[in-house]
Amino acid sequence: GAGVSQSPSNKVTEKGKDVELRCDPISGHTALYWYRQSLGQGLEFLIYFQGNSAPDKSGLPSDRFSAERTGGSVSTLTIQRTQQEDSAVYLCASSLGGVGNTIYFGEGSWLTVV
């Protein structure tokens, strides 16, 4: 597609439920990133995929968070047993990979846990 596509754009869920957020990167981009942004804050790195390499999961805040990237393209971020502090915008981004390449962001998925 023309840009990074994320779905859903908005999700309200009850505390304790699981949620899945989807990211469809720009075609041909080998690198895919997930970030989280709480209200009025900067971006917090969550996870990074590059080609067939093992993902960098160093930013995942707890074992309730996991992410997959199937076939080197679409990625799903899963949050199990959601908590109110998980409420944030979850931003996906992709790039051609390698150092110094521009990273392009999707519009984000706004998650509200009630």
Partner 1 sequence: SQQGEEDPQALSIQEGENATMNCSYKTSINNLQWYRQNSGRGLVHLILIRSNEREKHSGRLRVTLDTSKKSSSLLITASRAADTASYFCATGASGSARQLTFGSGTQLTVLP
Rule CB under 8 A: which of 11-30 touch partner 1? Answer: none
Report the C-alpha gap between 39 and 7 in whole angstroms: 19
Show the tokens assigned to 5. 């596509």
β-pair type (10-13, 109-113): parallel
Under the binding rule (CB under 8 A), the answer on residue 87 touching partner 1 is no
- The distance of Cα 61 from the centroid of its chain, to the nearest Å, equals 13
The token pair that represents 48 in the structure block: 């990074």
The correct pick among 8, 45, 61, 66 for binding partner 1 (CB under 8 A) is 45
- Record the tokens describing residue 23, joined without a space: 């990211």
Contact flags string 53-82 toward partner 1, x per CB under 8 A: ---x--x-----------------------
User: Interface residues with partner 1 (CB under 8 A)?
Assistant: 4, 31, 33, 35, 37, 39, 41-43, 45, 48, 50, 56, 59, 89, 91, 93, 97-108, 110
